[in-house]
């Protein structure tokens, strides 16, 4: 993306995006942002609002990370991980190393938990990366709940005005949710799933930010 497309960003915002020149730097930046507990109601904030309010949840963090990747020449891609109805979906931003660096996929993730976090760019394709989240994706009783993953969702189709929008980005969230997803389990496999161990469940309850 040409930097001129970011002309609506102010000077302070531009400085931040210039600095976030690698996936590692973007992830480190997101780690320092408190989690958005949505105490005043559901939100889907733009990158501008995230910077102003200094908080983000997984979808907001993915939107911010995708914007930073776009700013530095990568496509702004999201990956949606869908779970069962009584659990929460998770969204990450995808990035890919150049061919000289192996051409492998990685992911930037904003989460409050000890799992479902950053993925190094070591995965051959998006399915392989998505499946790396499967065993970490379980509820408090140990049931594994991830059921499908989306194809890479390109934010370029929405233009760039959403980056500085003052409105919640529900149009993007709804489009991602409705996009094509690939199921990962057959009925036979589902019936044979083993619950997470007690030590895994205990580790899964570790949080970074307290309400």
Query: Taking residues 33-39, what's their average pLDDT?
Result: 97
H helix intervals, the chain? 11-19, 23-32, 47-53, 58-71, 126-131, 170-178, 187-191, 198-204
Where residue 172 falls among pLDDT bands split at 50, 70, 90?
very high
Fold of 3-204: C8orf32 fold (3.10.620)
pLDDT over threshold 60, residue 2: no
Predicted local distance difference test score (pLDDT) of residue 4: 66
Predicted local distance difference test score (pLDDT) of residue 117: 97
Question: In the numeric block, which tokens belong to residue 176?
Answer: 């991602």
Query: Taking residues 37-54, what's their average pLDDT?
Result: 98
| Residue with token string 């702004």 | 76
Predicted local distance difference test score (pLDDT) of residue 3: 64
pLDDT over threshold 70, residue 5: no
Find, among 157, 114, 119, 102, the residue nearest to 24 by Cα. 119
Report the predicted TM-score, pTM, of the whole model to 2 decimal places: 0.96
Q: Cα separations (Å) of 198 from 17, 135, 140, 143, 202? A: 41, 14, 10, 11, 6
pLDDT over threshold 70, residue 123: yes
- Percentage of residues in the chain having pLDDT higher than 70: 98
Predicted local distance difference test score (pLDDT) of residue 101: 76
- Residue spans of the domains in the chain: they are 3-204
Lowest mean pLDDT among 13-22, 97-106, 163-172: 97-106
Where residue 182 falls among pLDDT bands split at 50, 70, 90?
very high
């Amino acid at each position: 993306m040409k930097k001129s497309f970011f002309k609506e960003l102010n000077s302070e915002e531009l400085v931040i995006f210039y600095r976030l020149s690698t996936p590692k730097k973007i992830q480190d930046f997101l780690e320092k942002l408190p989690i958005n507990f949505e105490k005043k109601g559901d939100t889907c904030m733009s990158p501008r609002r995230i910077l102003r309010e200094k908080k983000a949840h997984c979808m907001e963090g993915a939107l911010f990370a995708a914007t930073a990747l776009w700013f530095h020449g990568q496509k702004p891609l999201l990956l949606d991980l869908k779970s069962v109805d009584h659990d929460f979906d998770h969204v990450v931003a995808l990035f890919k190393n150049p061919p000289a660096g192996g051409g492998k996929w990685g992911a930037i993730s904003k989460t409050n938990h000890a799992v479902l976090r950053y993925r190094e760019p070591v995965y051959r394709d998006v399915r392989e990366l998505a499946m790396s989240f499967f065993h970490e994706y379980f509820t408090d009783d140990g049931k594994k709940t991830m059921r499908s993953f989306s194809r890479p969702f390109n934010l370029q189709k929405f233009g760039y005005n959403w980056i500085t929008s003052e409105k919640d980005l529900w149009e993007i969230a709804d489009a991602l949710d409705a996009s094509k997803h690939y199921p990962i389990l057959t009925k036979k496999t589902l019936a044979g799933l083993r619950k997470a161990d007690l030590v895994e469940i205990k580790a899964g309850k570790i949080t970074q930010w307290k309400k």
